[in-house]
Structure 1
Amino acid sequence: MNIPTPSKTAASVRSPFQPFQRELSRFFDELESGWEAFTDFRLAPSMDVAETKEGMEISLELPGLSREDVKISMDGDLLTVSGEKKAEREEKDRRYRLVERSYGEFSRSVRLPRSIDPATITAAMADGVLRITGTKRPDAATKTIEIQAS
């Protein structure tokens, strides 16, 4: 059975997928060199910010950290949670095949609404979750404004 071979003109035409194929090849070349090529990023813990009836609640996942590893600061209305997760692994007699846990400094900030009283902000940490709460100012209640006839 004869299979037709592409003509020289068809082979010389550039494929629209060629850039994608080149990037995919580069990706797999880096993958072969080790996972370290993909670990150059800052640690950013997951954060949820929720408005509650009383005010607001911020939750951050900080597995493996203690209260002493975390710092919470306020600068005006900007609340910042920062810290460092230190590497605990011992290299002696081990050759890691895969390292997915991240280590290093982290910082997450959130701008608080003006309705939150900074004096009421509290924080508690349990089971690797940091919960920060703040209550609304007493004067921040929503009021209805009646429209007057003109």
Structure 2
Amino acid sequence: MSIRDLIPWGQNNGNQAPSVFRDGERDPFLSLHREVNRLFDDAFRSFGSSLPSLSGFASFGGGWPSVEISDGEKEIKVTAEVPGLEEKDIEVLLNDGVLSLKGEKRSETEDKDKQFSERYYGRFERRIPVGYEVKEDEIEARFKNGVLTVTLPKTEKAQSQVKRIAIKS
């Protein structure tokens, strides 16, 4: 036996194109095993987002949806990418200084023959600590082309609390 016989993608004898699937991948138990592993990976991925952090905004990890936060002088802007969703699928809440983005992404089809998918489906919730007093009656949320943008205007008190510190050499 040569070392080439041990490599699964080298066993096609040159007569046919290499198969996308190895022989064991059509096994239903292997498929179930992979699906259970994926479910555990998805569940434990969210634990990184709930660990406390030293900075005000960095308490979220690799959760979904991906967010981008900008902290300007007069407002905080949170942008979340939520492709495949509509505005009716998303709920935006502000409670005790924490902005929550909640929703659910459903599969478009019930394809029983689907063997592999890396797409995310299911409920999601992202919690983002704001860290400033905001004008709650002026908060604005816009949704366009799968991107949710939430603008949180800071109060005058929050704007005046920022102090510039001179750097000495």
TM value normalised by structure 2:
0.59
Q: How far apart in 1 are the matches of 2:85 and 2:133?
A: 31
Q: How far apart in 2 are the matches of 1:130 and 1:143?
A: 31
2:97 to 51, 59, 77: 77
**2:35 partner SS:** helix
1:67 to 87, 92, 97: 87
1:56 to 44, 54, 76: 76
Q: Once structures 1 and 2 are overlaid, which stretch shifts more, 69-78 or 42-51?
A: 42-51
Between the aligned residues of both structures, percent identity stands at 27
Paired position in structure 1 for 2:113: 95
Q: How far apart in 2 are the matches of 1:38 and 1:48?
A: 29
Give the RMSD, CA atoms, in angstroms.
2.7
In structure 2, runs of 5+ residues without a counterpart are: 1-23, 44-62, 165-169
Q: How far apart in 1 are the matches of 2:38 and 2:106?
A: 15
The code of the aligned residue for 2:152 comes to: G
User: Deviations for 1:62-116, whole angstroms, at most 9, x for unmatched residues?
Assistant: 001001000111212111110110111232xx52232111110000011112243
**1:39 partner SS:** helix
Tell me, yes or no, if the aligned pair for 2:135 and 2:153 is still in contact at 8 Å: yes
Paired position in structure 1 for 2:38: 39
The code of the aligned residue for 2:74 comes to: E
1:119 deviates by 2.3
1:86 to 100, 103, 106: 106
TM value normalised by structure 1:
0.66
1:143 deviates by 5.7
Q: How far apart in 2 are the matches of 1:50 and 1:107?
A: 20
More helix by share: 2
The code of the aligned residue for 2:95 comes to: D
The code of the aligned residue for 1:132 comes to: V
Paired position in structure 1 for 2:13: none
Change (3 A) 1:71 1:118: same
In structure 1, runs of 5+ residues without a counterpart are: 1-28, 145-150
1:127 to 140, 145, 163: 145
Larger radius of gyration: 1
